[in-house]
Structure 1
Amino acid sequence: MRMIFVNLPVKSVEKSTQFFGKLGFELNPAYSDESCSCLVIDENIYVMLLAEPRFKDFINDEISDTATGTEVLNCLSANSRQEVDDLLSAALAAGGKPWKPVMQEGPMYGASFQDLDGHVWELVHMEP
């Protein structure tokens, strides 16, 4: 079974870990230390929050400036429209910023936000 690890540079591992904890993501302490946090989103989906100096150990160029561009869209499915709304509210209450307006396109309902470091997160529910 494949797993996905989304690796993101962060200015503060502690603050970013707290932010995502408020969204319900659990910390996996076995793969976390002062330079990174491993957060469990789902059984096979993890987010690695890496302090910027540690993130640079894995790249060949510079860290993208999220103030001037979007480096990636992280999209999570939701089980309901209410879950989309709840996650968006939790993210904004925890210090995230709104990104695009809530959208409805046919059977798809979604919302989005930027985390503390400007990474974009989309939330989407698709009616069967």
Structure 2
Amino acid sequence: MHKQIYVNLPVKDLAASKAFYEAVGYTFNPHFTNDKGAGLELGENLYAMLLTEDFARTFTPKTLIDNKTSTGGWMCLSCESREEVDALVAKARAAGGNIPGKAEDHGFMYGHGFEDPDGHHWELVHMTGMPPQG
């Protein structure tokens, strides 16, 4: 099957978006970063391409949505622990991110999330088992 994933995210201000994600603790691949986009490294073989809106429009004839007022989808990342979930949300809050909800503990799964400066929604989860059947 697939070996990597690249999620493309249009952003209004590339420098501000890069600063936000760096403050949360992420890095960028310099080989995939220039003035039109930045290759955000989320983990082994997990990437998000932050693309300026003008550059993103060269890939699609569709209208780009405003993620602060509309939801076109959201990303979910697994974490090693509840503490990692909480630490990333705290860093996102400190970097100016929006925290749209409260942490949720479902027994087998703990989750919380944040929105970046463009309103892209990121869920963070720590799984300790499987959901109950039925």
**Common fold, TM-score beyond 0.5?**
yes
TM-score, normalization by structure 1: 0.95
Shift, 1:35, TM fit: 0.8
TM-score, normalization by structure 2: 0.91
Aligned residues of 2:36 and 2:51 also touching (Cα < 8 A): yes
* CA-to-aligned-CA distance 1:54-97 (integer Å, 9 cap, x gap): 01111121001223211111101010000000000000100100
Q: How far apart, CA to CA, are the structure 1 residues paired with 2:19 and 2:55?
A: 19
The number of residue pairs the alignment matches comes to 128
Give the secondary structure class of the aligned counterpart of 1:53: helix
Q: How far apart, CA to CA, are the structure 1 residues paired with 2:68 and 2:9?
A: 15
**Unmatched segments (≥5 aa) in structure 2:** 130-134
The equivalent of 1:67 in structure 2 is 68
Aligned residues of 2:68 and 2:120 also touching (Cα < 8 A): no
**Unmatched segments (≥5 aa) in structure 1:** none
The letter of the residue matching 1:122 is E
Give the secondary structure class of the aligned counterpart of 1:54: helix
* TM superposition outliers: structure 1 runs of 4+ over 2 Å: none
The letter of the residue matching 2:41 is V
